[in-house]
Structure 1
Amino acid sequence: MSILVALMGLCVAGLIVTGVYLELAHKAPPDWLKGGVLANLALFALALAGLLFLGVDQVMAQEAAAPAREITVGYGLALLGIGLPTGLAAIAAGIALGPVGSAALAVIAEKPEMFGRTLVYLGLAEGVAIYGLVMSILMLGKL
C-alpha cells in the first residue's frame, strides 16, 4: 500500500516539475516530453486504481466504531436548536448581501477606485453568517 502511495507522490511531483519546466521554457515541448507526461498520467491513474482496490480491504477490516450516543427527544431538539443560529444567520446574510452587492456593483461601475470600500461593506454583511456559525460551534461544545 505504501508503495502505491509513494508511486502516486512521484507521479504528482513529476507532473509538477514538468509543468514548471514548460512554463519557464516558453517554448513548445519536445515530442518525447508529451509521451512522458501521458505515461506519467497513465501511471498515476493505475496507482490510484490500485490504491482504491487495495485500500478497500483495510477499510473493511477495521473494527466497528464505538456505539453512538443514544438520541433522545431532548438531544434531538438540542441539536435542532444548535443548527438554528447558523441557518437563520445565513438567511439574514443573504438578505443583507443582495442590496449591498447590487449597490456595490453600481458604485464600482461609476467609480472603480471605490472597490476596496465596497468589499468592506460586503464583508460586514457576510460577517453575520460567520457569527451565526461561531455561535453554533460554541453551543455544540456545551452539549
Structure 2
Amino acid sequence: MTVLAKITLAAALLLSIAVPFGAFAAGEKTKGRYKTAIGVNVFLFMATIGVAAGLMFTGHAFAAEETAKAVNSAAGWGYLAAALSTGMSCLGGGIAVSAAASAALGAISEDGSILGKSLIFVGLAEGVCLYGLIISFMILGSL
C-alpha cells in the first residue's frame, strides 16, 4: 500500500466522521439538517468503503508478490462475505428487536404476567445476529 493510498484512506475516514456533523453543527436545529448530515455521512462512508475495496481486491494493500496478490484477492472476497453476513444479519436483527421490544414493552405495561413470553420473542430476534456471526466465523475459518 503506497503512502498516497494510506493518506487518502485516512483522510476519507476522517472526513466521513468530521464533515457531516461538524459542518451542520451551527445553526437552527431542524429535522432537515440532521437528514442532510446523515446523507453526507452515508455518502462519504460508502466512498471510503469503495476505496478500501479497491485496495483490497487489487492486492496492493497486503503484498507485492504475484502469488500473494492472487491469494489476497480471493481472501478479500472472503472477508467481504464475512463482513456482509455479520453486518446484514445485525441490521435485520436490530430492526426485528426494535419492533418486538416496543410491542413487548407495550404489552408488559398492560399485563405484567407476560414478561417471560415477550422476552422469548425479543431473544429470537437477537438470535438472527448470532447466526450471521456464526456464518462469518465459518467463512473466516475456511480462508
Q: TM-score, normalised by structure 2?
A: 0.49
RCO higher in 1 or 2 (8 Å CA, sep ≥ 6)?
1
The structure with the largest alpha-carbon Rg is 1
